[in-house]
Structures are given as C-alpha cells and as structure tokens.
Amino acid sequence: MAGFAGRLGRCWYSGFLRSDYIIEQKALLAPLEQKTKFQQQELAANPLQVPALGLHVGGPAMQTSQKDFNKAVSQLKLLKEDPGNEVKLKLYALYKQATEGPCNVPKPGMLDFINKTKWDAWNALGSLSKEAARQNYVDLVSKLSASSESPSPEAPEADRKQPESDSLVVTSEDGITTIRLNRPTKKNALTTQMYHDVIAALQAASKDESAITVLTGSGDYFCSGNDLTNFTTLPAGGPEEMARRSAVVLRDFVNCFIDFPKPLVAVVNGPAVGISVTVLGLFDVVYATDRATFHTPFSHLGQSPEGCSSYTFPKIMGSSKAAEMLLFGKKLTAQEACAQGLVTEVFPDSTFQKEVWARLKAYSKLPPNAMRISKQIIRNREKETLHAVNAEESSVLRERWLSDECIAPACQPPSRIKLAVPSFSA
Ligand SMILES: CCCCCCC/C=C/C(=O)SCCNC(=O)CCNC(=O)[C@H](O)C(C)(C)COP(=O)(O)OP(=O)(O)OC[C@H]1O[C@@H](n2cnc3c(N)ncnc32)[C@H](O)[C@@H]1OP(=O)(O)O
C-alpha cells in the first residue's frame, strides 16, 4: 500500500499531518508497511486514516447509523479547510468511543504529552454509548462539511432562505432577528415543516448582521409543542421509518439551539408545552408574561424528555424539581418557573411586549462581538455534552414512539386532537 504523504497536497488534513498539531506523529507520513503494530493501531484510531486502511469499523450498533458513520469517516477526508486542533481532537475521541467504547487503555505518562492529550479527550467521553458517539461524530462531520461548503459566512440579506410556510415569520430590525411561530389557531403547535423552517431561520440568523435573536409566538400561546398530527401520515417504511425520520428532525432542531452563537432570547408570550419548554434550557435569556405556564406532559404521552432537558433541567432547578416536571408533567406558573431558574424575568401581561422589546432594543446596541465571545466562553465547554445528550434523547425517543405506552397512552390529550402514534398500528 502506498504511503499517505503523496495524497496530502489538496486536502486540509495535509496541514494536520504537517503542522505541530498535538495529535500529529511524524510516523504517520511513513508508508504503512513500515509501521509497527502499535503505529498501525494508532492509525486505525485516527479517523482520517481509516478508509485508507480499509478497516471495518466494528461494533454491535444499529445498521443505519453505522452506515452514516462510515460515510462521515469518508466525508471527513474531503473537507477543504482544516477544522482546527480542538475539533480534530474531538473527532479523534468520538471515533475511539464509537468504535471501541469507553476509554479502556492505561493513561499515558505525564511526559507523553501527545498520547496523554488524546487519552484525556477519549476518557472525557465517559460512558457515552457507541451509538451516541457515532451520532455525534456524524453530526460534527456534517456540520464541518456544511460550513466548508457555504459560500460566505456573511450571506447578504436577500440571499436568505425564507421559511417555506406562513407558519413561521422571520424579521430583522434594530439589530434583532425575530423568529415568530405563527400558527395561533393551533396554539403554534410545531409541524414538521416548522421544525425545518426554524432550523433554517436559526442558521440564517447565526450569520446575519443582527446582534440578538428572539423566538416568540403569535396569539395567546407561545407554543403547544409538537403538533400531534405530525405522525399521522406514515411513510413507505412504516412506523419505524417515521420514528427514524422524526428522531433526525428532532436532533437537528435541537442541535441548532445548542450551537447558536449569538445571544438567544425567548419572549414567552403565553403558555408553553412540550418541546417549546425543554429547549428553553438552551436559551441565554427567557422573558415571560405572567400568563405563561410551562409543562412537559411526556409521561402522559408515553414519551421521554428532549431538548437536552434531561441534562439542563436538573442543572437549572435541581433534580427533584426537574423530575416533577419531566416525569410527572407538573405545570409551572411563570413565577414558579422564574423561581426555579428556567425563566429570567416575569412581566405583567399588560406591559409585557412594551417592556421586553424596549429592553431588547437597548441590549441589541451592545457590541455584538463582545456578546458572541462572552456567550462562547459561557457555553462552549458544555457543547459536547449537550450534543451527546441530544443524540441520546433523540435515540431514546425514537424507540419510545414505537412503544405500546406511546401508541396507546394512558392519558390522552384533548379528544379533538387525534394522536398520531396510534395510526402506527393501523
Ligand atoms: C417531526 C419531529 C418531531 C419531534 C417531536 C419532539 C417531541 C415533542 C414532544 C412534545 O412537544 S409533547 C407536547 C405535545 N403537545 C401537547 O400534548 C399539547 C396538546 N394540546 C393541548 O393540550 C391543548 O390543545 C392546549 C395546548 C392545552 C390548548 O387547549 P385549549 O383548550 O386552550 O385549546 P384547544 O381548543 O385545545 O386548541 C386549539 C386548536 O389547536 C389545536 N392544537 C393545540 N395543540 C396542538 C398540538 N400540540 N398538536 C396539534 N393540534 C393542536 C387543537 O386541536 C385545536 O384545533 P381545532 O380543534 O380548533 O382544529
């Protein structure tokens, strides 16, 4: 087999191999045949080298995800830009976790700096499942691919992709981009199209000129959560395919909140249910009218938490208050949610809009880079954990949606709302 050096010219990872990047080992440039067994094992652990070695990435994981993972491993080689040392270290750790499971080798000595750094990164993933690690790896590669393909980080306003339906309205004014859920007759329940539109709107807002991004709702509700009719039309692959697709949409949707780089503010104009409550833990600031309520009837629907709430809620309000919400579906008033740290401040409904927007306009005049950088410092060290939590929650929900408890929940939502999931069994 030919050495790797000859193929390095065009790709960003030639820089990876030539730079003083902490994972770099000069040995990688030597032909494979000349490598020791240890070096070959190390190469196998290096995500960039696996396809070249033709290694099978083993493990008892699910087939679909395994295929995506293999694709991501190949895709990584095509990136045009070097993603930087921190990201490469993440890729290394996720690859090891995905293929070998939790770190199972002795910690290298203090002076073995390179291997110790790699070991630390792998070990930091703790008991993250192989499947979640694969998922995170795939997500990270797809994000890197998308950003290396995007023509310009500062796309002009006119090039922005507008939402596909009127159910989402995006406006930019006074340094604030506002994403408004606009389905008041259905209490702003989120259709599948709306999930996609919110994803696109957040991606556009992350690159536009605005300093602050706001999510709010039209009418008397902030949002009644997932539109329960989302599951009514089954695709050709049946319930399993429906659950698989929904889990992907959910994961992508929540990832956008995790990764959002600017101050993200929720203007909660009324009651909030389900996923519109759980993602609040990923916002920087949450302002609520005193009319708002917050509840997550997951157990009632045979479902389980999403939006990273299994991690953020216990952190924000303590495990017992979080359990009351996430396990028992306890509804909080705005004041209670504020006392528990989920809401930043509550305003009287009569002055809510006026007070909140005046305040946001003032904040939007602050130096935008300072706000971005401060947010990065506050949030970045948790991002990897949040992605792992999101992947796990989505994967658990995918199974929940096929469970008897979800198909025939003991506590039905209002009878007018036909729960989609029963149609799975049709
Ligand atoms: C594709 C990706 C999927 C990712 C899924 C991620 C997992 C997410 C989980 C959740 O979000 S769980 C929470 C789901 N939401 C609910 O269970 C709320 C159900 N709705 C209600 O309980 C009530 O409607 C309400 C919100 C408390 C409001 O009650 P109210 O009496 O004030 O109004 P209604 O007359 O009931 O509603 C008006 C109108 O709106 C329709 N509607 C409300 N919520 C939903 C909803 N979530 N899905 C679909 N439709 C909803 C309701 O049916 C009424 O419609 P019409 O009868 O007027 O046609």
* Residue 172 backbone phi and psi in degrees, to 5: -130, 125
Ligand 1 neighbourhood includes 46 CB (under 6 angstroms): no
| Bridge partners of residue 347, in order along the sequence | 289
* Residue 166 backbone phi and psi in degrees, to 5: -75, -5
- The three-point CA angle 304-253-378 to 5° equals 95
Output the pLDDT for position 166.
92
The CA distance from 326 to 332, in Å, is 12
Ligand 1 neighbourhood includes 115 CB (under 6 angstroms): no
Q: From ligand 1's centre to the CA of 331, what distance in Å?
A: 15
Whether pLDDT at 312 is above 70: yes
The CA distance from 200 to 196, in Å, is 6
Cβ atoms within 10 A of the Cβ of 319, count? 11
Average pLDDT on 195-207 reads 97
Residue 20's closest CA among 116, 117, 114? 114
Output the pLDDT for position 136.
86
Judge whether 165 and 193 are in contact, CB under 8 Å. Answer: yes
Atom 51, ligand 1: residue with shortest CA distance:
186
Whether pLDDT at 50 is above 70: no
CB-based burial label for 158 (10 Å; 0-12, 13-18, 19+): exposed
Strand segments (E) across 122-211: 168-173, 176-181
The CA distance from 287 to 265, in Å, is 8
**Both structure tokens of 301:** 């629907």
pLDDT above 90 covers a percentage of the chain that reads 58
Output the pLDDT for position 107.
86
Confidence of residue 38 (pLDDT cuts 50, 70, 90): very low
Q: What is the mean pLDDT of the chain?
A: 80
Torsion angle, CA of 425/303/404/244, rounded to 10 degrees? 50
Atom 48, ligand 1: residue with shortest CA distance:
227
The CA distance from 268 to 265, in Å, is 9
Judge whether 330 and 296 are in contact, CB under 8 Å. Answer: no
Cβ atoms within 10 A of the Cβ of 38, count? 9
Ligand 1 neighbourhood includes 420 CB (under 6 angstroms): no
The best mutation among 187, 255, 280 to test binding of ligand 1, ranked by most ligand atoms within 8 Å of the C-beta, falls on 187
Pick the range with the lowest mean pLDDT from 23-32, 76-85, 248-257, 291-300: 23-32
Output the pLDDT for position 16.
25
Residue 315's closest CA among 408, 382, 243? 382
Ligand 1, atom nearest to 278 Cα? 11
Ligand 1 neighbourhood includes 187 CB (under 6 angstroms): yes
**Both structure tokens of 404:** 């008897």
pLDDT above 70 covers a percentage of the chain that reads 75
Output the pLDDT for position 111.
56
The β-bridge relationship of strands 285-289 and 212-217 is unpaired
Judge whether 39 and 49 are in contact, CB under 8 Å. Answer: no
Whether pLDDT at 160 is above 50: no
Domains in the chain (CATH in brackets) are 66-144 (1.20.80.10), 168-411 (3.90.226.10)
Q: From ligand 1's centre to the CA of 176, what distance in Å?
A: 29
Whether pLDDT at 54 is above 70: no
Whether pLDDT at 235 is above 80: yes
DSSP one-letter string for 82-112: ---HHHHHHHHHHHHHHHH-S--SPPPPTT-
Average pLDDT on 382-405 reads 97
- ipTM surpasses cut 0.95: yes
The CA distance from 77 to 39, in Å, is 20
393 — alpha (psi -120 to 50), left (phi > 0) or beta? alpha
Whether pLDDT at 2 is above 60: no
**Both structure tokens of 332:** 């909080």
Average pLDDT on 199-225 reads 98
Judge whether 420 and 228 are in contact, CB under 8 Å. Answer: yes
Give the three-state DSSP class for 392.
helix
Average pLDDT on 302-306 reads 97
Pick the range with the lowest mean pLDDT from 41-55, 299-313, 342-356: 41-55
Atom 54, ligand 1: residue with shortest CA distance:
186
Ligand 1, atom nearest to 417 Cα? 53
State which amino acid sits at residue 159. D
